[in-house]
Structure 1
Amino acid sequence: MPMTYCSFARLLAAAVIVSTAATAWAVDGTRLKELLVGTAQTSPLSGLQVSLLRGGESAESFALGFAQRGDLGEVPLRRDHKVRIASISKLVVAIGAMQLVDAGQLDLDADVSKYLGWTLRNPAAPDIPVTPRQLLSHTSSVRDGSAYFIAAGTGELRDFFTPGSPYWEDGGHFAGAPGQAPGEYFYYSNLNFGLLGTVIERLSGERFDQFMAKHVIDPMGLNARFDPCEVPAEQRAAAFRKGEVAGSWTAGAEWLTQVDGDQPSCFYGMQDPAFAEDFLAEYRLGSNATLYSPQGGLRASADDLVIVLKMLVNRGALNGKRIVSAESVDAMLAPSWTLNAQRSNGLSSGEAEPGGPTDGLMTSYGLSVHRIDMRAWGFERGPKLLVGHLGEAYGVLSHALINPETGDGIATIITGSAESPASAPPGSSPLYRIEEEVLRWWLEAAL
């Protein structure tokens, strides 16, 4: 169904702006509306949620665009719609891991093998243990290979690291180059969080998604879940591209649902509800937490993400509750890895090929916390340092970032773009141009 001027007008009218009582003036959302319909530098968006933090308190919140499309038309995107937020999920998982640290169950510098119940060793560095700290900071020497999840009923997590298994890939899930042994080299890898999710299961005795709901998500007051089937259908927002087939963009095509449409898959490899029920009833804890997408599968809203940021600003406390210790928050935000002057101790382009426009995207990292030098990114105004996390998957682009000195922050979820965001003319930063434009709006309009 083609998008008409009238339908876009309805979507613009559906934008939601909320100010806290403590805010003396409202942020102007006009620029966000312009970005929704497309600009000379950026293509149109399917939907956009933005929620702001000011001085450690929730401030304005915006929702524009549509959440679902179908025969009955578009469903306007609301603030309470939940989107698959991609890699910001890692930040939330890290909070769960740090709870286990606080409880004395997890030692960040121990050999992770003792928590997994089997030996994890890089064949290129067989005498060097992999630690939970290295998993959280992407310095473990673990690599994604061609895949970083194993579907239900097809294997277990350890198969990635077992010679001769169908998932071994000739050792492709380990770094083999000199200087990339555990603890030596930063390389962003989703599989680190499949390992962490599995450790969480074995230490807690709870299924990963259920542990996260009980101990992290619900205590923070988030209306979020790792299981999309637990999100009410009326609150579920899909991810989109304009394309002919899922996973790619096609010029002149219509908006195409990428994930979380009418019939979401509850967990990886569990499209059939009957199979899912039987499989989960027999699932062995700690065998394969990649099923639950700990690296990127949390369904949440921008408002939810601002609550997470608020907790970090308050050093682990939220609404009178202690979510995680102040010491654990400090450890998360502090640099665990920093790119050296020779640029020889890590890959700074994230998941993209080195030498491209995203070089410089990752130059300092904490425990599942991205540390951004805003001056190096070309932002001359505003904070020098932002901390938080970025996300990209299924057409979604997301970020949740705070100024740790002032408690100001922004959470953004872009549900999809009409064209590949990489096709837009670059700005000053390694971000996609649309992400950069949202950040510039925040710095100019909100701060």
Structure 2
Amino acid sequence: MNTGNLYRLAVMGLALFFIVNPCLAQRAASAEDELAAIMARHQAIGLSVAVVKGGDIIYSHSFGWKDRERSEPLRAGDVFRIASISKSFVATGIMQLVDAGKLSLDDDVSHLIGFRVRNPAYPDSVITLRMILSHRSSISDKNGYFTLDALNPEKDAGWAKAYNDYAPGTDYQYCNLNFNLAGAILEKHSGQRFDRYIQRHILEPLGLYGGYNVDALDSTRFATLYTYDSKTDRFTPSPAAYQSRAEALKAYTPGYSTPLFSPTGGMKMPVNDLARYMIMHMHYGQAQGVRILSEESSRAMQTALTPKSGYGLALRTLNNLIRGKALTGHEGVAYGLYSAMYFQPDEQFGIVAITNGCNTGFTDDVINDFLHAVYNCLYRNFLL
């Protein structure tokens, strides 16, 4: 099988189409040829995409391999670890508690988490919930982010290394520790374990399959993730992406051990379910007649607080993904996977695309060249 045919792999039943207009069939054929070429150019292992218009998924397709070693094709319904798009689920949960009057975005994080969270260079500057959700807290990942010990003065003598040298609220730096901290706050003030809160208050009301607890999901649906090594030009499977937490949960401390679930990047979900979640944000907090977030809170998430980055509260706005369109959403990179979920709320369209491994560069430091090409292909063929 030649390379072009390999990436055109579309065995009957692998793709899930939502064709509401007969002319979309012709567009789909054109798009699939172009996507096959893009995949071949970037040596992509697999690709799943969904295109949304209004409140509907108008096109969805899976290409390539779920598990290359087993020659197992990628199918509709297969589950990916979606990486940093996960941050938006944390912020959605936090904003639900804001809507309920249990939290305020201006609350002092120290009071919310139960230990002192202060930049040592600016000890009198309060670090707020709004700051950690917008990456304006001055907290960094320099001390690690897999445990809250990284910035807890009571646990780590080197806690001061977890901060940058600018005052909280004055600058932006993307930081995973912000969202592992936010996840712990969500858990502490909801009274529910983090993964269960997300399941009960976001996924179940919207009818979505997925979750942060790998042991609660069907492992046969997991798409293998592959890390590319440019030195050897080889792809290596990344089993750590779906590592069980069952043993570690035996010593779980609510409101502190939360990074175990990786609120910052550990959501696992199929592409079509992620697209339906995106529709909720595109419609400012509701989808299919179900409202899970107030319009005010949803708009707050989408409002950029740092113009240069376009970042709001776990959602950012990009102006260079599709020329002439301001798109809001988030992207992710982890274990070789690249993901993107971006939408245009005024024009009511959006695209989700995830690859479980490819060889790509970054032209603009946010969306890689592979996903950039995929987005523009889908936009031209289905949304113009």
Q: TM-score, normalised by structure 2?
A: 0.91
Q: CA deviation at 1:77?
A: 0.6
Partner of residue 266, structure 1: 244
Instruction: Mark the CA change 1:193 to 1:170 in structure 2 (over 3 Å): closer, same or farther.
Output: closer
CA contact (8 A) 1:49 1:412 kept: yes
2:203 alignment partner AA: I
Partner of residue 32, structure 1: 35
Partner of residue 161, structure 1: 151
SS of the residue aligned with 2:91?
helix
Q: CA deviation at 1:20?
A: 3.7
Partner of residue 161, structure 2: 172
Q: Which has the higher helix share?
A: 2
Equivalent-residue separation in structure 2 for 1:207 and 1:23 (angstroms): 46
Q: CA deviation at 1:169?
A: 3.8
SS of the residue aligned with 1:364?
coil
The alignment covers a number of residue pairs equal to: 377
Structure 1 unpaired stretches of 5+: 151-156, 243-247, 268-272, 340-362
CA contact (8 A) 1:241 1:249 kept: no
Equivalent-residue separation in structure 1 for 2:294 and 2:6 (angstroms): 47
1:229-378 matched pairs, under 5 angstroms = 229-242=215-228, 248-253=229-234, 255-259=235-239, 264-267=242-245, 273=246, 276=247, 279-339=248-308, 363-374=309-320
Q: TM-score, normalised by structure 1?
A: 0.79
Match of 1:396 among 337, 355, 374: 337
Instruction: Kindly indicate whether residue 85 of structure 2 is the aligned counterpart of residue 51 of structure 1.
Output: no
Q: CA deviation at 1:373?
A: 1.6
Equivalent-residue separation in structure 2 for 1:401 and 1:229 (angstroms): 29
Aligned CA-pair RMSD:
2.3
Q: CA deviation at 1:170?
A: 5.8
Instruction: Mark the CA change 1:366 to 1:252 in structure 2 (over 3 Å): closer, same or farther.
Output: closer
Instruction: Kindly indicate whether residue 355 of structure 2 is the aligned counterpart of residue 414 of structure 1.
Output: yes
Equivalent-residue separation in structure 1 for 2:22 and 2:314 (angstroms): 31
Q: Percent identical across equivalent pairs?
A: 31
Q: Following superposition, which runs of at least 4 residues in structure 1 exceed 4 angstroms of deviation? A: 163-166
1:77-226 matched pairs, under 5 angstroms = 77-150=74-147, 157=148, 159-163=149-153, 165-166=155-156, 168-169=157-158, 171-176=160-165, 180-226=166-212
SS of the residue aligned with 1:416?
coil
Structure 2 unpaired stretches of 5+: none
SS of the residue aligned with 1:96?
helix
CA contact (8 A) 1:301 1:413 kept: no
Q: CA deviation at 1:250?
A: 4.2
CA offset digits 1:78-121 (Å, max 9, x no partner): 12011111100011221111111111111001111221122211
Instruction: Mark the CA change 1:123 to 1:59 in structure 2 (over 3 Å): closer, same or farther.
Output: same
CA contact (8 A) 1:122 1:174 kept: yes
Q: CA deviation at 1:160?
A: 1.5
SS of the residue aligned with 1:336?
coil
Instruction: Kindly indicate whether residue 364 of structure 2 is the aligned counterpart of residue 384 of structure 1.
Output: no
Equivalent-residue separation in structure 1 for 2:366 and 2:287 (angstroms): 33
1:251 alignment partner AA: T
SS of the residue aligned with 1:34?
helix
1:51 alignment partner AA: A
